[in-house]
Structure 1
Amino acid sequence: MADETPHSSHPTELKQTIGGWQILFYGLGSMLGAGIYALIGRAAETLGNAVWLAFLMAMLAALLTGLSYACVGSRYARAGGAAYVTQRSLRKPWLSYVVGIAVMMSGLTSMATGSQAIAENLARALNVELPIKLVAIGLVFLVGCIIYRGLRESMWANIVCTVVEASGLIFIIAVGVRYWGGVDYFETANDTVAGGSGSGITLTIIMQGAVLTFYSFIGFEDILNVSEEVKNPRRNVPFGLVGAMILATLIYMAVAITAVSVVPWRELAASKTPLMEVAHRAAPWFQGIDGVYVAITIFAIGNTALLNYIMGSRLLYGMSKQGLLPALLSRVHPVRRSPHVAIAVLFFIVSALILSGGVKQLAESTVLLLLTVFTVVNVSLVVLKLRPGEEKGGFEIPILIPALGAFVCAALIAVRLQAAFTTGGEAERTAPIIALAIIGTSLLLYRVLKPKNVVPQVDL
């Protein structure tokens, strides 16, 4: 547990309440969002029946960084997460600030878009007119109340939601597994007659597909922000993080193979609801399946909002402890043991985002922002491993892994930028421009606010 520092303005600390299986469900719930339901079609458009290769490549890229995060979490169980390890290793407060804001923006935009999506789904399901933005704000308030009650209650809510959203994907696998083996899993749109099956597969195409499907693995990094509240973090953080990534990969690969086995990949790519199309064809006997999947979508998006709210409140708390944000944000309720001030501040920020509109454009930049953060965290771990006297964790990895993780994340950024500015349209160019704008704004904020109480070595 963190020691008291001069920066702390309140004696109460976060309490270690999360066990190994709870943190595994936290990681799995963070990854198994509603994104897979749309991503499978977009990835099929790029790779055809070989869409599973995109998920495999994305998993390998994510796993390198996931192993780095597991190592960091077993060494430094701090709520600041990526911002903490960046400051500890590179000792550049401005960079730690930018990393923290980038992670924060990815979570806030996800909460804002997710809450509005739930409100829209509820309106369609009930067949009534609803004030979407006000309902969305009400949902954020409800989630905030759950988190204020305490992390234990939030973890149980997450487990219920994770089981529900996983059941939707497992059902698709179960009803579609009998179709496996019926198609050529290396066929792509770029195959030539002379070259035959698989002749259109190139590393560039696989990487482009991996950039798309990488989004479905985002969420594992949130575990780092709650590591301060995990029992025996040296063991349980790596167990939860790596275990969640393995389970998510198995589910995604099986879903990808099932989808192209049941529905021809060209139809899958053209469908607005690709996995719903798979479910309809594989289980025509299931009456009311649309309503079931609307409910599952609501649970999935709601869980994403819940977990991002938890992550955001802990990140604000951690950055406050580092001296990067006002000390008020590191206050913890003496009874509930939750960072109640940070929770309240997040509610007002997300509400403002919902009311302002334009959140979807911000959300498009999430992958690029997080890939940038992943690159920095991997480099930070390399530096920490080379620094004499740094404490060892319960899960150590060879230095080659974070080095490769940094290289792969940087390569994925390059592929995304190359596609956006050479073959992409205006919409594709928007995401990197917004990502750069967020980074630039973060630097400007740091210069304007000039945090005066930054802990130099972050030895909290």
Structure 2
Amino acid sequence: MATHKASLKKHITLWPLVLYGVGDILGAGIYGLVGKAAGLMGNAVWVAFMVSMTAASLTGLSYASLSSRYPRAGGAAYITHKAFGSHFLAYVVGLAVLASGLTSMATACRVFAGYFSGLFPLFSEPVIIIGLALSLAIIIFMGIRETIWTNSFLAAIEICGLLFIILMGLSFVGSVNYLDATTVQNPIGDLSIPILLGGAVLTFYSFVGFEDMLNVSEEVVEPERTLPKGLLLSVAISSLIYMSISIVAVSVIPATELAASKQPLVDVIGKAAPWFPPVVFSLIALIAVSNTALLNYVMGSRLLYGMSSQGLLPKFLADIHPKRLTPHRAILILLVVLLILALSGDISDLARATSVLLLICFSLVNLALIVLQKKDKVKGRFEVPAFVPAAGLVVCIAMLTQAKSEELLIAGGIIAFIGLLYFFVKPSAEAIAKMDL
């Protein structure tokens, strides 16, 4: 009797995909880092977001082209292996994406703690971080249906909160010089290329998420056509919101005050709309930030489970809970790592470490498209000229040159650990060749 292997159902159409992408991109980055970025860039913080948007858009075009060529849930690791044929490089890229998700989760937890302590000062930040991490682990352990419901609810509130800030702050726009980059760190207001790229490395974290859309490609209707459109629309909508938020924030509150705030956007709405209960917006911010952590936790647990199932990580991580049907051991391992990162790192260092890891992966993806355009006869429905991935590669490398020693050490340590893990686990060439990350 013939048996059929279960496959993922294709049910995601264009606009649900766009909502997924926008919900993944928006979140902890803008709620937590607009203050840090203002401390570095002053009123010119929007320029840093614009550079980050350029880098994300160019790389997004490369991802869109690659997704139309190879519509499978292989992500950066699969593309890297196909372009360069290196098992080790593909393995490192695959786990680097997972690591970026972990640092993103840790950053979200610290942002959450900052907003929560502003709302309930009796609780210490370590206690808040532990409470959030445990709550997310429980939701994801309960099941994917519960997780999706939670995500949909949080994403809707998250987007509405940002749009509300923009609407309330419009009357303040035009009140400051938006090219004034004067800060404590930059007293002469120098808007040089190194300063600009340094700010962009930090704000680039806000755009993290669009690359995750490839992971649902096997559930997308007509992925060769839908994925490129959905990806580009998600980046465009998120970019518009981010640029608007950054301009509104420095229009309402001086950059120095934003930099010192633990809950910058709550302070912005407190001045722009004093009639609006600050407690309500604090809750909106908490919801938005927790959604970022939730999405990354889901992605991370599935990556660990999938890689373990394929022999790329220790087998015990591939166990499924008999009742909840979730990868409970992978969820538990991620919880431990998440707590270690969130309780030990500064928010900006963690965010920039995430940016460094992803900029390395994005550089390889852009280079991979250049290579594949020359050597692979496969053509997708969305092709881009070679200068697009070339420009994306140059921008990513330029931003990497401005990374500080702290985040380079964190990112380098993570990559070194991945390299050691490769030689410890010794995955087979066949397992790496069919990586489904």
State the TM-score bracket (shorter-chain normalisation): 0.7 to 0.9
Choose from 246, 263, 279 the match for 1:273.
263
SS in 1 for 2:401: helix
CA distance in 2, matches of 1:234, 1:329: 32
State the partner residue of 1:99: 93
CA distance in 2, matches of 1:375, 1:172: 34
1:66-100 superposed Cα distances (whole Å, 9 cap, x missing partner) = 11111222222222311111111111111111111
Alignment of 1:324-343 (within 5 A): 324-325=312-313, 340=325, 343=327
Percent identity between matched residues is: 44
Q: Does 1:454 pair with 2:430? A: yes
Choose from 345, 351, 355 the match for 1:360.
345
Asked if the contact 1:24/1:243 (under 8 Å) is kept, the reply is yes
Q: Does 1:441 pair with 2:413? A: no
Choose from 38, 52, 58 the match for 1:58.
52
Displacement of 1:156: 4.8
SS in 1 for 2:384: coil
Letter in 2 for 1:360: G
Displacement of 1:116: 7.0
Asked if the contact 2:55/2:395 (under 8 Å) is kept, the reply is yes
Alignment of 1:24-423 (within 5 A): 24-112=18-106, 114=108, 132=128, 135-145=131-141, 148-150=143-145, 154-189=147-182, 200-286=190-276, 288-289=277-278, 291-316=279-304, 319=307, 324-325=312-313, 340=325, 343-354=327-338, 356=340, 358=343, 360=345, 363-364=350-351, 365-389=353-377, 391-416=378-403, 420=404
Letter in 1 for 2:354: T
Structure 1 unaligned blocks of 5 or more? 1-9, 191-197, 421-428
Distance 1:248 1:176, change over 3 A: same
State the partner residue of 1:193: none
CA distance in 2, matches of 1:57, 1:137: 32
SS in 1 for 2:430: coil
SS in 2 for 1:309: helix
Count residues in correspondence. 425
Asked if the contact 2:301/2:334 (under 8 Å) is kept, the reply is no
Structure 2 unaligned blocks of 5 or more? none
CA distance in 2, matches of 1:299, 1:271: 19
Distance 1:349 1:363, change over 3 A: farther
CA distance in 2, matches of 1:326, 1:124: 41
Displacement of 1:16: 2.4
Asked if the contact 1:115/1:136 (under 8 Å) is kept, the reply is yes
**Higher mean displacement: 356-365 or 41-50:** 356-365
CA distance in 2, matches of 1:21, 1:383: 32
Distance 1:402 1:79, change over 3 A: same
**Higher mean displacement: 368-377 or 137-146:** 137-146
Displacement of 1:450: 0.9
Displacement of 1:280: 1.6
Asked if the contact 1:16/1:229 (under 8 Å) is kept, the reply is yes
Distance 1:61 1:329, change over 3 A: same
Distance 1:22 1:432, change over 3 A: same
CA distance in 2, matches of 1:117, 1:211: 18
**Higher mean displacement: 404-413 or 119-128:** 119-128
CA distance in 1, matches of 2:121, 2:256: 32
**Higher mean displacement: 325-334 or 130-139:** 325-334
Displacement of 1:447: 1.1
Asked if the contact 2:75/2:214 (under 8 Å) is kept, the reply is yes
Letter in 2 for 1:41: G
Asked if the contact 1:189/1:200 (under 8 Å) is kept, the reply is yes
Distance 1:93 1:259, change over 3 A: same
Displacement of 1:347: 0.8
CA distance in 2, matches of 1:155, 1:245: 22
Asked if the contact 1:137/1:354 (under 8 Å) is kept, the reply is yes
CA distance in 1, matches of 2:60, 2:17: 14
Displacement of 1:174: 1.0
Letter in 1 for 2:204: F
**Higher mean displacement: 318-327 or 74-83:** 318-327
CA distance in 2, matches of 1:335, 1:241: 35
Normalised by the length of structure 2, the TM-score is 0.86
CA distance in 2, matches of 1:53, 1:187: 11
What is the RMSD computed on CA atoms of the aligned residues? 3.3
CA distance in 1, matches of 2:119, 2:162: 21
**Higher mean displacement: 349-358 or 82-91:** 349-358
Normalised by the length of structure 1, the TM-score is 0.82
CA distance in 1, matches of 2:383, 2:420: 36
1:146-183 superposed Cα distances (whole Å, 9 cap, x missing partner) = 6x334xx6555433222211222211111111122222
Displacement of 1:127: 7.3
